[in-house]
Chain A
Amino acid sequence: MDALLHALNGIPVLGLVFQFVEYFITALPFTGHVAVQLAVPICLAALCGVMCERSGVVNIGLEGIMLTCAFTGWFAGALITGVLGPGTPTPIFGFTLPLLLALVAAIGAGMLLSLLHAWLSISVRADQIISGAIINIAAIGLTGYMNTLLSTQTLAATGNFSALRIPAAVAGFPLVGWLINALFGQGPIGIATILIVIIFQILLFRSRWGLRTRSVGEHPRAAETVGIDVIRLRYRNVVMSGALAALGGAYLSMEATNAFQAGMTQGRGFIGLAAMIVGRWTPVGAFGAALLFASSQAISQSISVSPPPGELGTLLSHVPTQFFDALPYLITIVVLAGLIGRSIAPAADGRPYQRESAS
């Protein structure tokens, strides 16, 4: 077996491909786990987008909602810890009362911001791109402002959610061990994301709510004639979607790290928007797109941290590291332009709805 591998790796040019595959497989336990971690916030943002846009409301404010919620979760946690004390974390997931209350606060903030977006785009019938832009700018401004003010204060540390520890016996299981570790060796928000993707996909395409949501996004007039309250359904979906982006924000400041930094979303909301489009407005597609992006990021990281041995390694060491930084974005473009091509938004996406009888 080793001899065969050695022979394959020795083939000029083509051998490099085999070397890469070998490296890819040996790096999987690391990259798989990191990829899921990187994909979670992007995926949650994309899911928020899917829920909004399937019901006909464009939401480019994902970035702003995430940033606000990352801040709110951290700040609320610090305030609550200051009052209640830190509390003892539970052995699994590291839940404490302040952390959970802070998560509720973050979700509340996300839903509140989404309510503003819903009001502007559904009731005021303003342009939804502008409404989303407002949320993004306001979030950068207000969280940055507060963060600068708070930098002079000492705040109580709340800590963060901890990841589920997969026993070494399970994680080391041949073939599937790494996958179990990658998917379930995550914190509560990470694991919840995977469940949400599955449930959301089923609900969107197999439930009454899903059918109604899609019909409101494609042809609201027809939906109204069969008795669906377009305005109410859109409001409900947009506000609910805020909770998803909020989870994405909270993940950054309460699970992946334990503190807020100015601008810590680093464009993940926009990448989530891209993942939604590449995933063709479906939850599973969005998750796949987020995962594709995150895995190429994880592999790039892995290559720059521990480059593969041999010929391939020497070759890669001549490539500037910035190329690997750009690789995930390049891959996304290639996948979109080459494989997916034109993805078509819900027909009524971005169109404010006005009842015929009204006015």
Chain B
Amino acid sequence: MSRPSEERSRIAAVLSSVWSLIAVPLIAVLMALIVGAVVIVLSSVLVLKNPFDPTLPLTAYGALAQGAVGSYDSFVSTLVLTTPLLLAGLGVGIGFRAGLFNIGAQGQFLMGAVGSVAVAVWFAHAPAVIAIIAALLGGMIAGAAWGFVPGLLKATSGAHEVVTTIMMNYIALALLAWIVIGPLRQPGSVSPSTPSVGVAALPIVLDRSGHIGIFIAFLAVPIAWFLLFRTTRGFEIRAVGANPDAARYAGVKPRRLIVLTMSIAGLLAGLAGASVILGVTHQMNTTFSTSVGFDSITVALLGRSNPIGIMVAALLFGAMRAGAGPMQINAGIPVELVDFIQALILLFLIANVALRRLLRLRGVSGAEQTGFETITRSYGGEATG
């Protein structure tokens, strides 16, 4: 008798729980796009003195979407740009879980690139499979070393990882310049650059640019998830991040764990660097630079240090990066708008308590926070023992 209404109420319950899960991210993205649209219109009228054109944002976002997912071609380029963000983002996220604020993804990424190109040149005459594996390993080891040092310094002397990782970023930059100008410079090249990675180039498996690194990156998601949530080490990482004192009483050795976590973070960022060198640029010059390191911090924050969340965030950022170029070319909107929109998405996400109250969603208590207490707690220097 009351079946249909029961059914209906169950569907309603499911729908409302789904809604409360995706409402905030969705609304955050929408509001960010709206504010971005306002900036586009205002800047066009006030700075460029163009006539008022309310459809300009639609043209811009249309070009952005077209460039990101409009065709198979552009979708593959989104995946290519997602790859390093996803790998480095996972590294930063695992660090966050242990309460470590690793600003060094940038340097670890660059060292991964340096390591892989150096090994690739070394293995120029080896069979492709061996060269590829060796070059990837070279990138991972170089990146891991760049994470290991700040970890070791924090564990032994308590030197703050925020400081040491920032400094390591700049040292990596100088090292990269030296490698390209000095030992690895291709003889006879006009502007300094390394030789091509040759046989170590990652095979293209999707379309014209989709290298195999894409699959490595997406494979890293379940591995990271398994490491964090199904292994003892992962439990220890999360325990140290959540409460270092309690973890120590429970027998976790925080110092060893800090070194391990920083090395894993560096390894993943290094792999990201290797994937760009071996899969995309194929050689390195002095201007080899990237925003991956800092974007990956945002990706990890947006994904709430959860591997699956990080994957979604990396895809979103990869799509925006892929669409930014076409947006500038076809709609005349500078690519930097994408950065601004990314910041706005984060802004509306963390203002979510205020947002939820506004939308009268369920499960909101006054004290609810964004679930990131562990990061700032580590910042206060508690993670060492």
Contact = CB atoms under 8 A, between A and B. Distances in A.
Contacts of B153: 333, 336-337
B171 interface: yes
A290 B294 CA distance: 23
B361 to A, nearest CB: 16
Contacts of B181: 320, 322
A342 B155 CA distance: 10
B301 A130 contact: yes
A133 interface: yes
A323 to B, nearest CB: 7
Interface stretch (A85-93, A190-198, A271-279): A271-279
Interface of A: 58, 120, 124-131, 133-138, 140-150, 152-153, 262, 267, 270-271, 273-274, 277-278, 320, 322-323, 325-326, 329-330, 332-333, 336-338, 340-347, 349-352, 354, 358-359
A133 B346 contact: yes
B interface residue count range (under 10 / 10 to 19 / 20 to 34 / 35 or more) = 35 or more
Interface string B145-169: 0000000010011111011101111
A338 B298 contact: no
B158, B174, B377 pick with most chain A CB within 10 angstroms: B174
Contacts of B162: 273-274, 277
Contact of B159 (A145, A262, A333): A333
B377 A141 contact: no
Contact of B158 (A144, A262, A341, A352): A341
Interface string B164-195: 10111111011101100110000000000000
B207 interface: no
Contacts of B347: 120, 134, 138
Interface string B259-271: 0000000000000
Interface stretch (B122-130, B235-243, B274-282, B336-344): B336-344
**What DSSP secondary structure best describes chain B's contact surface?**
helix
B16 interface: no
B350 A337 contact: no
A140 B159 contact: no
A126 B351 contact: yes
A128 B376 contact: yes
B163, B178, B298, B346 pick with most chain A CB within 10 angstroms: B163
A337 B164 contact: yes
Q: Which 9 A-B pairs have the closest CB atoms?
A: A342-B158, A141-B339, A141-B340, A350-B376, A144-B336, A138-B343, A127-B372, A326-B174, A148-B334
A43 B66 CA distance: 45
Contacts of A354: 367
Nearest to B176: A322
A341 B157 contact: yes
B177 A325 contact: yes
Contacts of B294: 136-137
Contact of A58 (B43, B167, B177, B376): B376
Contacts of A124: 350-351, 353-354
Contacts of A359: 366-367
A337 B157 contact: yes
B48 interface: yes
A320 B178 CA distance: 7
A138 B344 contact: yes
A347 B163 contact: no
Contacts of B341: 141
A325 B167 CA distance: 12
B381 interface: yes
B231 interface: no
Contacts of A273: 162-163, 166
B175 A140 contact: no
B158 A351 contact: no
A349 B158 contact: no
Nearest to A63: B294
Contacts of B375: 127, 129
Contacts of B65: none
A145 B346 contact: no
B168 to A, nearest CB: 8
Interface in B370-385: 370, 372-373, 375-377, 379-381, 384
A271 B334 CA distance: 28
A270 B169 CA distance: 11
B243 to A, nearest CB: 14
